[in-house]
Amino acid sequence: MKRIAFALAGLAIPAAVWMASVPAGAAPTPPPARVDVPATPHLQAAVLAGGCFWGMEGVFEHVKGVRSVTSGYAGGKGSDANYEQVSNETTGHAESVRIVFDPKQVTYGQLLRIFFAEHDPTEVNRQGPDEGTSYRSAIFPQDPAQRRAAQAYIAQLGGAHVFPRPIATRIENGGFFPAEAYHQGFLRRNPDHPYIRMWDAPKLADLKHRFPEMWKA
C-alpha cells in the first residue's frame, strides 16, 4: 500500500477523479446491529482491520463519541509488529486501528456498522489497490460481549444478503501493537497525499453523506 502511495507522490490527481473513484452511497448501507454491547460508565476499546490503517483511522476520527484512534498491527507477535516486517506479509499481522470510545455516545454495534460501510468486507486479503494478508478484513474482539456482537452482526448481514458476495471478515484473537509514529494521524496530517486523495478522502465524504448524525468535524 505505502509502496504504491509513495510511487504516486509526484502525481497530481484531479479532485473530480478521486471523488468519483468511490461515489458516496455506491456500496450497500448496512442496517443497524440487532445485537450490541451494553453501555458501561467507562470508555471501551475496539480493534478493527479494514485495509490500510490510514483510511480506517481517518474515518473513525470523525465519528461522534470516539475519543482516540491509533493505527497499528494486530494478529501477530509484538516482536515483528513493525511496518517493514508486516509489509513482507509473513507476520500474520493485519493493519488495524484501536478505537477508544464513549459507549454512552456511540455503541460497539454502531462502530461495526460504520466499519462494514466504509470498506469492502467481501474482499479476501486486499482492499482497493493493496493486496496481502495484512490488508484483510478482520475484527479483534476485546471481550466476550464484543465477540458475540461481532458474530451476530456478520450473521445478520449474511442472512439479509446485504452484500452481493459472501462476507470475508474474520473474527480473530491477538493483541494490538501501535504502529510507528509517522503512521499516526497520517490522513489528518497529509490530506493532499495522492494515496489519501484517491482512496481515503472519498471514505470521509461517504461517512458524512451516509451517517450525518454520527459525523463530527
The answer to whether 163 touches 157, Cβ cutoff 8 Å, is yes
d(CA 35, CA 41): 19
The answer to whether 97 touches 142, Cβ cutoff 8 Å, is no
Matching residue, cell 490510514: 54
Known catalytic residues? 52
Q: Which residues pair with residue 171 across a beta bridge? A: 139
In angstroms, what CA-CA distances link 182 with 18, 68, 110, 133, 185?
24, 16, 29, 22, 8
